[in-house]
Amino acid sequence: MNDRTQYEPVIGLEIHAQLRTRTKIFCGCSTAFGAPPNTQVCPVCLGLPGALPVLNRQAVDYAIKAALALGCDIQPQSIFARKNYFYPDLPKGYQISQYERPLALGGGLEITAGGGKRVGLTRIHMEEDAGKSLHEGFPDSDRRTYIDYNRSGVPLIEIVTEPDLRSAAEASEFFARLRDILVWLGVNDGNMEEGSLRCDANVSVRPVGQRAFGTKTEVKNVNSFRYVQKALEYEIDRQIDVLEGGGRVVQETRLWDSASGRTCSMRTKEEAHDYRYFPEPDLPPLVVDAARLDAVRATMPELPEARRRRFVAAYGLPEYDAGVLTQSPALADYFEQVAAGAVNPKAASNWVMGELLRVLNERGTPIEAVPLAPAALAGLIRLVDAGRISSSIAKDVFAKMYESGRSAEAIVAAEGLAQIDDESALLAIVRDVIAKHRDAVAQYRAGKQATFGFLVGQVMKGSGGKANPKLANQLLRRELEA
Ligand SMILES: [Zn+2]
């Protein structure tokens, strides 16, 4: 057995994120996913002779938004280039991308793994996506490959990190945080299965203490969120095995195969695309002036990390609650509206994280479509806080509110659910319970404290769940010890 801790992995990520524009980056074709093949195409994205690209303004604004959120320096002028290579899914024979002068440089993102660190970004550039080769699903798929150009020309940003990541766990956390931010900003839908977010990784290992990097491989085709860490762990282990076996890591591109849980060689350096870049003569330089930056900045939401911190500081919520409530801007907004109307922010958090999310999950309803207004939920919480209804009754009221849209007050009044605080009414129930459960009473009096809980339960039951629990406890104990 070799000692794997003597090796240090070095990982850098290249993340392609599809921008959520309605139309493609250089033409008016739809970007909607799942349309029949080759129905969302035109001369521009098919690369027909004479067709000219026109840059999508919204795509640029989204790219700027992502770059600002990641702390990058937006370049006042960036240049589109032609990245030439031959592949059937690339009808023009080149991809329009940015090369020497990308849209944004620098920036970074904090992670907590590895004791907490900042992972630097090298650059963010804009480019168009290629089409998709379909290798299966047709009667003659053993002989032919079909091409779908619907994806050709869909706008992407490529986010390139510095080789700052030192474990699969760090890389996985970084990617998760980056995805959260892009989705939160509304610039990407975070959907890896549909390919709108893709993560390639450059991986190498070196003996601990060595400064020079080892030979790297590029791991591609990680098409599901949960595979990012697995694919990297596999590749790190594989490289260590190669070195420990006295071999040398070959610089190559490797594909992750989720079925076998392995990476396998796709092409070596000798077979790699020999890209030639030229400036794109059909597009002027992309100029981003201060006014445009300000305009995009004005549309920036408070970012998840900042919002989490504010929820802890301003509402006194535990870190855990703040993390759950800031899963999406809509959920965070909902919570804040409930908290504004409720007396107690922690109670508001408990209701939103508890009953509300449970019902939404059960029914597959997104928070954006929740039928219960935040002010109505706040009304229910106020009734509980004021001792007007018990928390178990409140759950029933919640269910009725969710179905009917009626207010908590109205349901409580109409159904006579208000808590019983009247001592003489409760005492009658307590005495009734004592008379009916002589065995339990005798056990309690003989010193078996556990029966007390049973008797309280009987009192609650006898009151239809409406007894003030504190008062019921007091009265029961008093009667039992009399
Ligand atoms: Zn088109």
pLDDT digits (tens, 9 = 90+) for 360-411: 999 999 999 999 999 999 999 999 988 888 888 899 999 999 999 899 989 9
Distance 44 CA to ligand 1 centre (A): 5
Angstrom distance (rounded) from CA 30 to CA 23: 5
Q: Please report the pLDDT score of residue 271 as a whole number.
A: 62
Q: Among residues 364, 383, 415, which one ends one of the domains?
A: 415
Distance 421 CA to ligand 1 centre (A): 70
Distance 150 CA to ligand 1 centre (A): 8
- Higher-confidence residue of 203 and 112: namely 203
- Establish if 297 belongs to a structural domain: no
Whether the per-residue pLDDT at 269 is higher than 80: the answer is no
Distance 52 CA to ligand 1 centre (A): 10
Claim to verify: residue 390 and residue 473 sit in the same structural domain: no
Distance 51 CA to ligand 1 centre (A): 10
- Establish if 299 belongs to a structural domain: no
Over residues 266-277, mean pLDDT: 74
Task: Report the run of H or E that residue 69 belongs to, with start and end.
Answer: helix 57-69
Q: Please report the pLDDT score of residue 468 as a whole number.
A: 84
Over residues 167-171, mean pLDDT: 96
Distance 147 CA to ligand 1 centre (A): 15
Find out whether 206 and 7 touch, Cβ atoms under 8 Å. Answer: yes
Distance 296 CA to ligand 1 centre (A): 26
Claim to verify: residue 284 and residue 330 sit in the same structural domain: no
The tokens describing 302, both together, are 């408070």
Find out whether 242 and 4 touch, Cβ atoms under 8 Å. Answer: no
Q: Which of 384, 308, 372, 371 is nearest to 344 (CA)?
A: 384
Distance 37 CA to ligand 1 centre (A): 13
- Establish if 452 belongs to a structural domain: yes
pLDDT band per the 50, 70, 90 thresholds, residue 149? very high
Claim to verify: residue 333 and residue 276 sit in the same structural domain: no
Distance 89 CA to ligand 1 centre (A): 14
Q: Please report the pLDDT score of residue 345 as a whole number.
A: 95
Over residues 323-349, mean pLDDT: 93
Distance 45 CA to ligand 1 centre (A): 4
Q: Determine what percent of the chain is predicted with pLDDT higher than 90.
A: 77
Q: Among residues 369, 399, 415, which one ends one of the domains?
A: 415
Claim to verify: residue 53 and residue 132 sit in the same structural domain: yes
Q: Please report the pLDDT score of residue 449 as a whole number.
A: 83
Can you state the percent helix, strand and coil of the chain, rounding each to 5? 40, 20, 35
Q: Among residues 388, 415, 442, which one ends one of the domains?
A: 415
Claim to verify: residue 111 and residue 240 sit in the same structural domain: yes
Q: Please report the pLDDT score of residue 248 as a whole number.
A: 95
Distance 282 CA to ligand 1 centre (A): 16
Domain assignment of residue 464, given as a range: 423-481
228-240 per-position pLDDT tens digit:
999 999 999 999 9
Distance 313 CA to ligand 1 centre (A): 49
Considering only the C-alpha atoms of the chain, give the largest distance between any 2 of them, rounded to a whole number of Å: 99
Claim to verify: residue 225 and residue 172 sit in the same structural domain: yes
Claim to verify: residue 318 and residue 397 sit in the same structural domain: yes
Ion ligand 1 — residues with CB < 5 Å: 27, 29, 42, 44-45
- Establish if 369 belongs to a structural domain: yes
Claim to verify: residue 187 and residue 241 sit in the same structural domain: yes
Distance 43 CA to ligand 1 centre (A): 6
Distance 20 CA to ligand 1 centre (A): 16
Claim to verify: residue 327 and residue 373 sit in the same structural domain: yes
Find out whether 261 and 230 touch, Cβ atoms under 8 Å. Answer: yes
Claim to verify: residue 325 and residue 219 sit in the same structural domain: no
Q: The whole model's pTM is what? A: 0.81
Contacts of 152 by beta carbon, 8 Å cutoff, 6+ apart: 24, 41, 45, 46, 47, 89, 90, 91, 128, 129, 130, 131
Claim to verify: residue 406 and residue 465 sit in the same structural domain: no
Over residues 160-176, mean pLDDT: 96
Q: Please report the pLDDT score of residue 1 as a whole number.
A: 46
- Establish if 298 belongs to a structural domain: no
Distance 30 CA to ligand 1 centre (A): 8
Q: Determine what percent of the chain is predicted with pLDDT higher than 70.
A: 99
Q: What is the 3-state secondary structure of the chain?
A: CCCHHHEEEEEEEEEEEECCCCECCCCCCECCCCCCCCCCCCCCCCCCCCCCCCCCHHHHHHHHHHHHHCCCEECCEECEEEEECCCCCCCCCEEEEECCCCCEECCEEEECHHHCEEEEEEEEEEEECCCEEECCCCCCCCCCCEEEHHHCCCEEEEEEECCCECCHHHHHHHHHHHHHHHHHHCCCCCCCCCCCEEEEEEEEEEECCCCCCCCCEEEEEECCCCHHHHHHHHHHHHHHHHHHCCCCCCCEEEEEECCCCEEEEEEEHHHCCCCEEEECCCCCCEECCHHHHHHHHCCCCCCHHHHHHHHHHHHCCCHHHHHHHCCCHHHHHHHHHHHHHCCCHHHHHHHHHHHHHHHHHHHCCCHHHCCCCHHHHHHHHHHHHCCCCCHHHHHHHHHHHHHHCCCHHHHHHHHCCCCECCHHHHHHHHHHHHHHCHHHHHHHHCCCCCHHHHHHHHHHHHCCCCECHHHHHHHHHHHHHC
Distance 26 CA to ligand 1 centre (A): 7
Which three-class secondary structure state does DSSP give residue 376? helix
Distance 347 CA to ligand 1 centre (A): 51
Distance 42 CA to ligand 1 centre (A): 4
pLDDT band per the 50, 70, 90 thresholds, residue 71? very high
Q: Please report the pLDDT score of residue 481 as a whole number.
A: 85
Distance 153 CA to ligand 1 centre (A): 7
Distance 80 CA to ligand 1 centre (A): 18
- Establish if 276 belongs to a structural domain: yes
Distance 215 CA to ligand 1 centre (A): 40
Claim to verify: residue 369 and residue 431 sit in the same structural domain: no
The tokens describing 89, both together, are 């899914």
Count of domains forming the chain: 3
- Higher-confidence residue of 416 and 362: namely 362
| Phi, psi of 324, rounded to the nearest 5 degrees | -65, -45
Q: Residue 454's domain is classified under what CATH number?
A: 1.10.10.410
